Amino acid sequence: MKLTYIYHSGFALQAEDVTVVIDYWRDTMGKETGWLHDLLHSATGSIYVLSSHFHPDHFNPEVLHWREQHPQIHYLFSADILRHRRAPREAATYLHKGDCYSDGQLQVKAFGSTDVGISFLIDLQGVRLFHAGDLNNWHWSEESTPEEIRKAEGDYLAELRDLQREAPQVDVALFPVDRRMGRDYMRGATQFVDSIKTTTFVPMHFSEDYEGGNAFRPIAEAHGCRFISLHHRGETVEISIE
C-alpha cells in the first residue's frame, strides 16, 4: 500500500484496485496539475474522495468534476460541506460525527474535530489509518487567554478520548504539526501519540514548512512511532503492517 503526500493536509492512499484521496486542496504542481491529476487520468478500480470539512484548504469543489472522468467515483464529505452549500445534496454521502460508511471495500467512521467538520478513521485492506482533518489542540500560548487555552485543551482531550475508546491503536496517523501556532504547536500531536498507539506518524497541515512539520520526529520516535519526514509534494512512502 502506498501513501502519497499531495499538499498541506491532502494525501492519496493507493491499495489494490482502490485509491482514497483525502482533503484535496491543490495538486503537487499547482491548482489543477501534478501527480494526482496524472494518477486520475490512468486510475482504474474504485476511487474514493474524502473531505473533512468545508474550509478551502481541506475541500476544493474541483473534485466534483472528477466524476466526469470516473463515473463510479465515491464522495464521502463532512456534513458541514452540504450545510455551507459547497456541494449539492446528491453529490456525496455526508457524514456527521459517529456516522459510519462501509461498502465491503472501504470502511470509514467519522470522529469529531476541534474546529469544524470531522476526522476520519479509515480501514482499508488490513490497514487502519486516521486522518485528523482539523482535530488538534488549537491554542496559541502567546496570544490565547488562560481560559481559552484550558477550553481548547479540554475540548481536544474529550475528542481524543472518544477516538481512544474505538481505536486505541492505529497503523498510520496523519496529524497537524503546524508551526504557525507558536511555541506549543506540537502539543496536540504529542498528546495524540501519548493516547493512541501509533505505528506510523505523518505530519500535515504545514503548507511548505517542512522543517516545522518534520521537527516532531524525535517526539514521535520516543513514543515508538515510525516517523515519515516529508520534503516535497508528491512524496510517496510504502505503508506495511508489521
Q: What is the CATH number of the domain that holds 79?
A: 3.60.15.10
Q: Into how many domains does the chain fold?
A: 1
3-class state of residue 171 by DSSP: strand
Domain that holds residue 159: 2-238
* Cβ atoms 156, 136 nearer than 8 A: yes
Average pLDDT, the chain: 95
User: At what angle are helices 146-166 and 187-195 packed, to 10 degrees?
Assistant: 30
Phi, psi values for residue 114, rounded to 5°: -100, 10
pLDDT of residue 85: 97
pLDDT at 3 over 90: yes
> How many Cβ atoms sit within 10 Å of the Cβ of residue 205?
22
- The better pLDDT of the pair 160, 33 is held by 160
Rounded to an integer, the average pLDDT of 45-52 is: 97
* Cβ atoms 159, 77 nearer than 8 A: no
User: Rounded to whole angstroms, how far apart are CA atoms 86 and 75?
Assistant: 13
- Torsional sign, CA 43, 71, 3, 54: positive
* Cβ atoms 32, 3 nearer than 8 A: no
Q: pTM, whole model, 2 decimals?
A: 0.97
The residue with cell 506540537 is 186
pLDDT at 82 over 70: yes
pLDDT of residue 32: 77
- Least confident piece of the model among 5-9, 69-73, 238-242: 238-242
Rounded to an integer, the average pLDDT of 161-190 is: 97
User: Rounded to whole angstroms, how far apart are CA atoms 149 and 141?
Assistant: 7
- Helices within the chain (DSSP H only): 35-42, 79-83, 146-166, 187-195, 210-214, 217-222
